[in-house]
Amino acid sequence: MKCYAKYYFDGVGTLTLGEDDGKLTDLHFASSGTHPGGDLMMSETPLLAEACRQLGEYFTGERKSFELPLAPKGTPFQLRCWEALLRIPYGATTTYGDIARAVGSPKGFRAVGLANNRNPIAIIIPCHRVIGSDGKLVGFGGGLDVKSFLLMHEAQHLNQ
């Protein structure tokens, strides 16, 4: 049974985290209006508490990577894209085209954008680190202001 819990973090607002069978399945922004849907079983589990702790460390600049069991649900292409996102270093950015080439679909930058849009575990699977080929911030479920905040936050804490 899936369990969900809500947590508040300065700069990004309320996040809803979800887990199923001991693996993190969801991290959604309240501001985006998206959520897992259906009836939410609100219950903090040890995994959700650990995810919240690690997110807290991330937001204070103490953590640069997450150590959580993940189970995002998606198509094989989406899963390949999300795996590629996990390889983007903290504080770095890449483009949709770069991700498309990394997953073996060099002309699939639009499909990569759609996969990013469907990323069910934002921040932890760092889709915020993907920018347009012109260097502009484009598309993010939490809003461009949150994407900008996350990138500036990482840049500020990169060498600490």
Instruction: Please report, for the chain, the start and end positions of each structural domain, with discontinuous segments joined by +.
Output: 2-60, 76-157
Rg (CA), the chain: 15
Residue with tokens 């809803």: 16
Task: Supply the angle between the helices 76-86 and 109-117 in degrees, to the nearest 10.
Answer: 80
Q: Which of 8-17, 75-84, 118-127 has the lowest mean pLDDT?
A: 8-17
**Cα gap 119→27, rounded to integer Å:** 9
Q: Is the pLDDT of residue 36 over 70?
A: no
pLDDT in tens, 75-107: 999 999 999 999 999 999 999 999 999 999 889
Does the domain made of 76-157 have the CATH classification 2.60.120.40?
Answer: no
Structure tokens belonging to residue 109:
């930058």
Model pLDDT for residues 49-62, shown as the tens digit of each residue: 999 999 999 999 99
Catalytic residues, by residue number, are 127
pTM score above 0.85: yes
